[in-house]
């Protein structure tokens, strides 16, 4: 058998080096019943490898293929009529679902309007406020973790609490040089939980903490932790529009997708009735 596998590898190498324009010749390497495994069905990575154990790798592939085909052959011969019928029904249903899915997907790509305007999103937000109540506290904040030995920590404190753009640029330069972490979260909203995990201590009452702190500092044995809060929203309050904007876009798109598919299905159904393609008895 090893000689056969070696021949297969040699054939693969010769084929890859041969005339690319010549008609391909399929080389059979194994058979189980009426099913044949051809050389071109074996991954090229296996047949073209130069590893010393390449023969064993190809042999294992052929053996695995044979075992699977033999098991399939035995199962098909001995499966009960009821199980065979069930499998056939499942295959037909799966095929129908795949064909329908691909057709629906094609129609959506070709005909469904996916353009969603800012006005549509704002109107949806205003009309569905109850859907956008916060389940957690969110903040806009600047977070800095910096080693204790950094020079001029007081200057960093002052800059971090400033809203002046030139001060923030100075702060950024210093932090990129010395800070272990420096993040303004792209000036967007983040959950306070995401921020608080960076701190060396737990925040017991988040609501009161956010109400009464515009900045916060703590430390551990090696670092200072500085937070400047730009804005916050408490849980159970209405989420800011910019925080849920992407969610709104997806909701509108999903609603539009559902309506499009419903309309497509209804149109096909009604056309079939008009054309007398569908009858009930």
pLDDT exceeds 60 at position 180: yes
Task: Identify the pLDDT of residue 151.
Answer: 85
Query: The whole model's pTM is what?
Result: 0.74
Closest CA to 179 of 151, 148, 154, 147: 147
In tens, the pLDDT along 128-148 reads: 999 999 999 999 999 999 999
Question: Do the beta carbons of residue 107 and residue 264 sit within 8 Å?
Answer: yes
Residue 225: other Cβ atoms inside 10 A: 19
Residue 172: other Cβ atoms inside 10 A: 14
Task: Identify the pLDDT of residue 18.
Answer: 53
pLDDT exceeds 80 at position 80: yes
d(CA 39, CA 60) in angstroms, rounded, equals 14
pLDDT exceeds 80 at position 89: yes
Which of the 8 DSSP states describes residue 275? T
d(CA 159, CA 178) in angstroms, rounded, equals 15
């Amino acid at each position: 058998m090893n000689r056969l596998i070696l021949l297969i590898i040699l054939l693969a190498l010769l084929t890859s080096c041969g005339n690319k324009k010549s008609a391909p010749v399929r080389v059979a390497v194994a058979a189980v019943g009426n099913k044949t495994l051809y050389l071109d069905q074996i991954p090229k990575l296996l047949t073209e490898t130069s590893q010393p154990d390449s023969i064993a790798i190809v042999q294992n592939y052929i053996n695995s293929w044979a075992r699977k085909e033999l098991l399939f052959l035995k199962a098909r011969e001995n499966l009960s009529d009821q199980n065979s019928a069930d499998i056939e029904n499942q295959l037909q249903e799966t095929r129908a679902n795949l064909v329908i899915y691909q057709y629906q997907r094609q129609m959506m790509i070709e005909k469904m309007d996916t353009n969603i305007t800012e006005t549509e999103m704002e109107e949806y937000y205003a009309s569905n406020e109850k859907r956008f109540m916060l389940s957690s506290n969110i903040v806009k904040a600047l977070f800095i973790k910096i080693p204790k030995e950094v020079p001029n920590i007081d200057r960093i404190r002052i800059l971090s609490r400033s809203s002046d753009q030139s001060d923030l640029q100075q702060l950024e330069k210093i932090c990129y040089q010395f800070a272990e972490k420096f993040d303004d979260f792209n000036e967007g909203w983040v959950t306070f939980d995401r921020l608080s995990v960076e701190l060396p201590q737990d925040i017991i009452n988040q609501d009161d903490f956010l109400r009464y702190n515009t900045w916060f500092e703590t430390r551990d044995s090696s670092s200072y932790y500085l937070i400047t809060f730009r804005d916050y929203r408490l849980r159970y309050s209405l989420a800011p529009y910019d925080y849920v904007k992407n969610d709104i876009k997806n909701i509108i798109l999903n609603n539009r997708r559902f309506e499009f598919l419903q309309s497509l299905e209804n149109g096909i159904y009604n056309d079939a009735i008009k054309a007398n393609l569908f009858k009930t008895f």
